[in-house]
Amino acid sequence: MRALLPIAVAVALAGCATHRAHVASEPADVHDWAAVLAVPAHTFVSAALDDDHVSDGYLVSVTDTTLTIRRRDSTRQTIPRATVVRVETTVRLKNSDAMNGFPIGVGTVGGLAGTLIGVATDNSTVKGWSLAVLGTSLVAGFAYMHRHPAWEPDYVTRVVYVR
């Protein structure tokens, strides 16, 4: 029995360090046009121009002198590099553990159903184990909701270039 305690602690703490992948807020040098050249095609970008106008759309191509985007109305716009003040991309936040909440929900529903069945059949063993499953699932659910707030954004804006 004592040999199982370190294993249980190791299993419980195994996922703590890999909670979420790091997303860089901005590249090392935002004043270098090479950062815009490195943005892959079909990435959603917003370009702030000299005339306080913002053009946004999906990146088609980038050269040393121009930035070409496909706007939402499917027209292409080629913007001279000299007029670009700022370029931002919209990046989806990756959540590698998105399905971890599913077993918690199943445990909660199963524990509640088992508790109700145990009460209806007056079976104290079923009622006791089902209450234990329900309580454990509720505690795990609250911990999961604390780690994965519903108000977290799905997308984040990342600055690529500033003149």
Domain extent for 63: 34-94+153-162
User: Are both 86 and 125 inside the same structural domain?
Assistant: no
6 in a domain, yes or no?
Answer: no
Give the mean pLDDT of the chain: 81
Q: Is the pLDDT confidence value at 48 over 80?
A: yes
- More confident site: 157 or 92: 157
Contact residues for 22 (Cβ-Cβ < 8 A; gap 6+): none
* pLDDT at 28 (0 to 100): 60
Confidence of residue 146 (pLDDT cuts 50, 70, 90): confident
- Structural domains counted in the chain: 2
- More confident site: 148 or 142: 142
Task: Give me the sign of the Cα torsion angle 44, 48, 51, 52.
Answer: positive
57 in a domain, yes or no?
Answer: yes
Confidence of residue 12 (pLDDT cuts 50, 70, 90): low
User: Are both 140 and 158 inside the same structural domain?
Assistant: no
Query: 63-83: per-residue pLDDT in tens?
Result: 999 999 999 888 999 999 999
User: Are both 67 and 107 inside the same structural domain?
Assistant: no
Q: Mean pLDDT lowest for which of 18-32, 97-111, 145-159?
A: 18-32
Quick one: angle between helices 124-147 and 101-121, nearest 10?
160
User: Are both 43 and 120 inside the same structural domain?
Assistant: no
* pLDDT at 19 (0 to 100): 44
* pLDDT at 24 (0 to 100): 45
